[in-house]
Amino acid sequence: MDYLLSRLLVLPGILLGISIHEFSHGYAAVKMGDNTPLMQGRLTINPIKHIDPVGFICLLVFGFGWAKPVMIDNRNFKNPRKDDAIVALAGPAANFLTAFLFVGLMKLTAKFVAYNFSTQVLWVVLQNTVSINLVLMVFNLIPIPPLDGHHIVGSIGGAKVWNFYYKYYDQLRFVMLLLIVFRGVNIVISPVINYLYRFLISIFF
Residues known to be catalytic: 22
- CB half-sphere exposure, 154, CA atoms < 13 A: 25
149 in Cβ contact with 34 (< 8 Å): no
C-alpha–C-alpha distance, residues 158 and 151, integer Å: 10
**Phi, psi values for residue 195, rounded to 5°:** -65, -45
| 145 three-class SS | coil
C-alpha–C-alpha distance, residues 112 and 199, integer Å: 23
C-alpha–C-alpha distance, residues 165 and 34, integer Å: 23
**Burial label, 176 (beta-carbon count in 10 A; 0-12, 13-18, 19+):** buried
